[in-house]
Amino acid sequence: MAKTKTNTEDYLRMYRQMVRIRTFEDNANQLYLSAKMPGLTHMYSGEEAVAVGICEALTIDDKITSTHRGHGHCVAKGAEFKEMFCELLGKEEGYCRGKGGSMHIADQSNGNLGANAIVGGSMGIATGSAFTSKLLGKDDVTVCFFGDGATAQGLLYEVMNMAALWNLPVIYACENNGYSEYTKTEEIAAGSITARAEAFGIEAHQVDGQDVLAVNELTQKLVARARKGEGPFFMELMTYRYHGHHVGDINREYYRSKDEETDWKENKDPIIKFRGWLVEQGIASEEEIEAMNAEIKKDAEEAVAYAEAAPYPDQSEVDMHVFTDIKHALARDTA
Amino acid sequence: MREITLSQAVNEALAEEMRRDETVFIIGEDVAEAGTPFKVLSGLVEEFGTARVVDTPIAEPGFMGLGVGAAMTGSRPVVDLMFGDFIYLIMDQLCNQAAKSYYMSGGKLNVPLVLRTNLGATRRSAAQHSQSLHALVAHIPGLKVAMPSSAYEAKGLMKTAIRDDNPVVIFEDKLMYNDKAPVPEDEFLIPFGEANVKREGSDITLIGTSSMVQVCEAAAEILAKEGIEAEVIDPRTIVPLDEAALLESAKKTSRVIVVDEGHQSYGITGEIAGRINEKAFYHLDAPVLRMGAMDVPVPFSPALEDITVPTPEAVAEKARKLMSGEMIHAA
Amino acid sequence: MPHDNGPHDVIMPALGMAQETGKIVAWQKSEGDAVKTGDVLFEVETDKATMEVEAQADGFLNGVRAAAGEDVPVGNVIAQIGSEAQASEPVAPAAPETGSAEALPEGAEVIMPALGMAQDTGLIVAWHKALGDEVAAGDILFEVETDKATMDVEAGENGYVAALLAEAGEAAPVGAPIAVISAEKPANPVQRSQADAAAPATSQTKADSAPDSKPEPEPAKVPQAPAPKRTDGRILASPKARRLALEQGLDLKRLVEAGHPQPYHVADLEVLKALPEKTAGSAATASRHLTAELSTDGFAEFAAWASESEGLNDTNTLLAGLAAASLGQGEATITVESFDQARAYAVPAGAFSAITLAEEGATPELILRDLRMSRVSTVALGAEEAPVLTLSYAGSRLVVTLECAGHHLTAAQAVSLLSEFAGRVEQPLRHLL
């Protein structure tokens, strides 16, 4: 299904998806700041070109695994605002009926095998998904999103070894946003990240994660080759997170400067860059783009309002979904 | 009925299920040509090929994680963990990922995975190859835990496990692989959560798991000669647990000893004893006793190792004590 | 066991994790050959590969007891390296040795071979040689059935069948000696069955594990003394015993009083039920027994006065009235027993003239037993459903006795009741006024 994005519709869709992610995150941040959202959340803002560039190269049957910073992947893979906001607020209509929250949104109807609150926790899952594809003779490809921080987890090297041994159709997508939680990546990662994959004989690429077209073009090529059994592949996507590690990480001068943040936001923003390119290429006018932005903003506000008004799950759901075949797990043993 | 070993029973169960369902595959260390160190899987790779009987590098978290992802996407992996002791290595994949996926996704992403591993001391393998860690797993909501006590259970429970849509951990006693038991040639499954009354008795209930069922049966033989009729019950799965059957027997005999090879403290014996205490208290004529493995790392020396696990004599001795009406002290 | 001058045992090595036996593929040295440390003695096949096993000593290969193609349990002695060639040197028995081996004729032991991985025992289908028969090493000695097939087993030694230690149809543990082949014709051949075997089977199932192992080191057992009687009034009893006692109206205190050792279990309820009924009456509750003797009997005088001036002719009514007044609680039901009659009276507060017979079935608060006309002087009849006041004569003195159960009245109440009543009987008019 993935084909070269050469037409207007595809470019506009990429732009729209990036703005949807940014808008979703702005609203999520507001929900947090206004104490309407339980718990914490990790903002994807600034990294939109990575999720969109990759997911636009995938079909609905292709799978992704996501991370604690997962809203962007979820939106990019086709999720709806309403169910996402409902999940963030712990409502019954959320993607996980309010049982997962921000860090566990799964949307298997669009091939999203779920965000994961354990750093590096989904690497095995992604590799196993690729294993199924090979075992059952399907042609779907799995993309494993993870951050630079997760490259410190041993699991990555165990599964890359197996994926390489068995030519599994999996693409390891390392979103290098420069920070491993509250620590500079250079303080936690020795040597080269791509070289680690290359040590297993895995073809590895480093790409500008703020350039949606570059990300998309590379991903299309790798996905096509993975489908033919030439996988696995590794991508290191150089990007930046605008917020702190999570929404509560406000005061972060001790690990990075405001000047650095400002520089990325003003000079390397993926949405601003791509918007400029669309106008320059005559694909969309400023007015059309503003109209699109306004429409997305309205969509998000409506979804937030809907989620705020939506009911919480009934308390009887607390012991449901522990097992597939036991409706209420706590009633089980005494039945 | 023909008799086969526990090892053959597991092998048959896997072969039958792999023939029935092409999404079933086995993955783990030395499962293919080697057929595992215990030779339980011998012959399977010849029939099903290396695509479905998959040898992995020595990377337990890696292949366990791979199993979870495969299970989420339409396969039915049987993940082979060479020794139960290695469960510590895969805890994140088992307990944070497999066990919670269905719940965290609100019922969308289930993980039909079987983790096949073992337990049991007295094999002179010392503290890192002799542990019985089923309580660790049974503690985590979302995992089912099966503990076959003979070749018959090993086959029936394995087939049920493979067809179950949830993660199931099966603990085989590694000392029982050569033990034979009657196993029907015709296909059969053993449902989870149904205890088996191995022996009926009226005086005292002995609840045993895995090889401790044999220990309880041997203890019952000893007691029978002394005029004490012990009832022996095998829960077969500890999650789900057939609590009703255990309570019924406890109410009938009013005395219970729970025998399990996991460490006694914070273990299965305490859990079952606790439930009986809560739900059959006014039917008890004596405190419910726990007999687990000694709370020490499993020692190597046979002279030490043998005294760490419950034996038929020790169970019988406790039973006599309960029957005597003697004051039972906590120690 | 190794000989004193130390022939070196050649042992089937443990090479694989799940390996219980090793198959000898081929011997590279023959019986009697000189060998040097490091020489390849034989090849063994395990689960993964074929391996060469080297000699661990210099000397001569003697007593080879396992042939090529044979599966030998790991740890078993399969030959020896001795200081000189001794083609027929009897070889030490393979472990595990049974306790009965000492009494056996000298010679090479024939052991039950391990033929399959999963095999713990072998079933002897038939012996092909009889006790005392001469045998050659290659002769078929017996047939054994394993899980897979029946196999012929050769004698392995030249000589005579000096002992048969298992009967046809019996199973013997792998590694256990089942025959002895002696070099000389045996004088006293031995025939045994496995059932006679003193040593336990070698199977390692936990259910078979040695009875001398204990799950935990326990202190030497001290004879259990009955639990000391508790002084706080709490009784040690199982939850079930308590429940059943409650349901059946049994009082566990009776067991305490009978000196029955605690803790109590269901079985002890049978003991409780079997306690004598009399004990039940007095022991069920601490009983009270109080007596007052009166030097002057004012009641007869009072009865006469009442009859004359007030028209109250029924003495029993008067007694009921005095008794009720002694209770000091206003209205009361009093049963008066005299001359084998029992009548219950309803006694309201106030004048004796208002006393009437109580309704049928009324429960008395007090029983008054009038024995003044009988020959009984002192009573100890035990508690009844209500406190009992008994009037009797001891010589010329009027005796008032109060008997009741502990739960009827406290000691103080009992003393008070008896004092009040005795006072009223002594001087009825004074109290009436």
**pTM metric for this prediction:** 0.70
B105–A104 C-beta distance less than 8 A: yes
Contacts of residue A213, defined as CB under 8 A and 6 or more positions apart, other chains included, come to A5, A14, A53, A274, A277
Cα separation, B70 vs A258, in Å, equals 43
C356-379: pLDDT as tens digits: 888 877 888 888 888 888 878 888
Dig out the tokens for B260 from the structure.
Answer: 């399990």
Catalytic residue among B12, B17, B29, B129: B129
Q: Which of A58, A263, A270 is nearest to A175 (CA)?
A: A270
Q: Is the pLDDT of residue C407 over 50?
A: yes
Contact criterion met (CB below 8 Å) for A123 and A150: yes
Q: Which DSSP helix (H) or strand (E) runs through A24? A: helix A8-33
Contact criterion met (CB below 8 Å) for C304 and C318: no
Dig out the tokens for B325 from the structure.
Answer: 């009406």
Contacts of residue C35, defined as CB under 8 A and 6 or more positions apart, other chains included, come to C29, C41, C55, C57, C58, C59, C60, C61, C81
Q: Across residues B5-11, what is the average pLDDT?
A: 97
In the structure, what pLDDT confidence band is assigned to residue C109 with cuts at 50, 70 and 90?
A: confident
In the structure, what pLDDT confidence band is assigned to residue B92 with cuts at 50, 70 and 90?
A: very high
pLDDT for the residue numbered C48? 56
| Distance in Å, alpha carbon of B307 to nearest chain C alpha carbon | 5
Q: ipTM, 2 decimals? A: 0.91
Of the candidate ranges A218-227, B183-192, C53-62, C396-405, the one whose mean pLDDT is the lowest: C53-62
Q: Across residues C256-271, what is the average pLDDT?
A: 89
Contacts of residue C242, defined as CB under 8 A and 6 or more positions apart, other chains included, come to B282, C252
More confident residue, C44 or B250: B250
Q: What is the mean pLDDT of chain B?
A: 96
CB pairs under 8 A between A and B: 170
Of the candidate ranges A33-42, B292-301, C79-88, C390-399, the one whose mean pLDDT is the lowest: C79-88
Q: B69 contacts in A (CB within 8 Å)?
A: 65, 113, 122, 124-132, 142
Cα separation, A94 vs B105, in Å, equals 10
Considering CB atoms only, which of B97, B165, B244 is closest to A324? Answer: B165
In the structure, what pLDDT confidence band is assigned to residue C94 with cuts at 50, 70 and 90?
A: very low
Contact criterion met (CB below 8 Å) for A88 and A247: no
More confident residue, C116 or C243: C243
Q: A127 contacts in B (CB within 8 Å)?
A: 62, 65-66, 69
pLDDT for the residue numbered C205? 55
| HEC per residue, chain C | CCCCCCCEEEECCCCCCCCCEEEEEEECCCCCCEECCCCEEEEEECCCCEEEEECCCCEEEECCCCCCCCEEECCCEEEEEECCCCCCCCCCCCCCCCHHHHHCCCCEEEECCCCCCCCCEEEEEEECCCCCCEECCCCEEEEEECCCCEEEEECCCCEEEEEECCCCCCEEECCCEEEEEECCCCCCCEECCHHHCCCCCCCCCHHHCCCCCCCCCCCCCCCCCCCCCCCCCCCCECHHHHHHHHHCCCCCHHHHHCCCCCCECHHHHHHHHHCCHHHHHHHCCCEEEEEEEECCCCHHHHHHHHHHHHCCCCHHHHHHHHHHHHHCCCCEEEEEEECCEEEEEEECCCCHHHCEECCCCCCCCEEEEECCCCCCCCCCCCCCCCCEEEEEEECCEEEEEEEEECCCCCHHHHHHHHHHHHHHHHCHHHHHC
Q: Which DSSP helix (H) or strand (E) runs through A30? A: helix A8-33
C266-314: pLDDT as tens digits: 999 999 988 886 444 444 456 788 888 887 778 888 888 888 887 888 8
In the structure, what pLDDT confidence band is assigned to residue C103 with cuts at 50, 70 and 90?
A: low
pLDDT for the residue numbered B83? 96
Considering CB atoms only, which of B63, B73, B106 is closest to A162? Answer: B63
B5–C17 C-beta distance less than 8 A: no
A165-195: pLDDT as tens digits: 999 999 999 999 999 999 999 999 999 999 9
Dig out the tokens for C225 from the structure.
Answer: 């003394």
Q: Which residues of chain A have pLDDT under 70?
A: 1-6, 332-335
SS3 A233: strand
Q: Is the pLDDT of residue C217 over 50?
A: no
A322–B68 C-beta distance less than 8 A: no
More confident residue, C344 or B192: B192
What's the burial of C374, exposed, middle or buried (CB within 10 Å: 0-12/13-18/19+)?
middle
| HEC per residue, chain B | CCEEEHHHHHHHHHHHHHHHCCCEEEEECCCCCCCCCCCCCCCHHHHHCCCCEEECCCCHHHHHHHHHHHHHCCCEEEEECCCHHHHHHHHHHHHHHHCCHHHHCCCCCCCCCEEEEEECCCCCCCCCCCCCCHHHHHCCCCCEEECCCCHHHHHHHHHHHHHCCCCEEEEEECCCCCCEEECCCCCCCCCCCCCEEEECCCCEEEEECCCHHHHHHHHHHHHHHCCCCEEEEECCEEECCCHHHHHHHHHHHCCEEEEEEEECCCCHHHHHHHHHHHHHHHHCCCCCEEEEECCCCCCCCHHHHHHHCCCHHHHHHHHHHHHHCCCCCCC
pLDDT for the residue numbered A43? 94
Cα separation values, C83 from A326, C5, C63, C80, C393, Å: 73, 8, 13, 10, 115
CB of B220 within 8 Å of a chain C CB? The answer is no
pLDDT for the residue numbered C223? 41
B12-43: pLDDT as tens digits: 999 999 999 999 999 999 999 999 988 999 99
More confident residue, B67 or C313: B67
Largest CA distance in chain A: 69
B104–A96 C-beta distance less than 8 A: yes
CB half-sphere exposure, A264, CA atoms < 13 A:
20
The residue of C202, C238, C268 whose CB has the most chain B CBs within 10 angstroms, and thus the best one to mutate to test that interface, is C238
Q: Which of C78, C62, C94, C91 is nearest to C25 (CA)?
A: C78
Chains that touch B (3 or more CB pairs under 8 A): A, C
pLDDT for the residue numbered C118? 54
Q: Which of C209, C225, C182 is nearest to C88 (CA)?
A: C182
Q: B176 contacts in C (CB within 8 Å)?
A: 205
Q: C207 contacts in B (CB within 8 Å)?
A: 211, 214-215, 217-218, 312
Of the candidate ranges B23-27, B115-119, C139-143, C276-280, the one whose mean pLDDT is the lowest: C276-280
B286–C204 C-beta distance less than 8 A: no
pLDDT for the residue numbered C6? 63
Q: Which of B154, B156, B113 is nearest to B137 (CA)?
A: B113
**10 Å Cβ neighbour count for C2?**
11
pLDDT for the residue numbered A42? 95
Q: Which of B101, B119, B21 is nearest to A128 (CA)?
A: B101
Cα separation, B297 vs B301, in Å, equals 12
Whether a cis peptide bond, with omega within 30° of 0, leads into C93 is no
Considering CB atoms only, which of A159, A321, A335 is closest to B65? Answer: A159
Q: C262 contacts in B (CB within 8 Å)?
A: 327
More confident residue, B222 or C279: B222
pLDDT for the residue numbered C350? 76
Judge whether B60 counts as a catalytic residue. Answer: yes
Cα separation, A318 vs A321, in Å, equals 8
A159–B57 C-beta distance less than 8 A: no
Cα separation, C161 vs C108, in Å, equals 10
Residue in chain B nearest A64 by alpha carbon: B69
What's the burial of C81, exposed, middle or buried (CB within 10 Å: 0-12/13-18/19+)?
buried
B62–A159 C-beta distance less than 8 A: yes
Let me know the angle formed at the C-alpha of C96 by C94 and C100, rounded to the nearest 5 degrees: 95
Considering CB atoms only, which of B73, B104, B144 is closest to A100? Answer: B104
User: At which residue do the structure tokens 């003695």 appear?
Assistant: C41
In the structure, what pLDDT confidence band is assigned to residue C100 with cuts at 50, 70 and 90?
A: very low
pLDDT for the residue numbered B326? 76
SS3 A152: helix
pLDDT for the residue numbered C232? 63
Judge whether B317 counts as a catalytic residue. Answer: no
In the structure, what pLDDT confidence band is assigned to residue C331 with cuts at 50, 70 and 90?
A: confident
User: Phi then psi for A333, rounded to 5 degrees?
Assistant: -70, -25
CB of B179 within 8 Å of a chain C CB? The answer is yes
A124–B105 C-beta distance less than 8 A: no
pLDDT for the residue numbered C119? 62
Q: Which of C59, C64, C70 is nearest to C25 (CA)?
A: C70
pLDDT for the residue numbered A19? 98
Considering CB atoms only, which of B103, B108, B244 is closest to A334? Answer: B244
SS3 A244: coil
Contacts of residue A292, defined as CB under 8 A and 6 or more positions apart, other chains included, come to A12, A15, A16, A19, A284
Beta-bridge mates of residue C11: C77
In the structure, what pLDDT confidence band is assigned to residue C203 with cuts at 50, 70 and 90?
A: very low
Residue in chain A nearest B26 by alpha carbon: A135
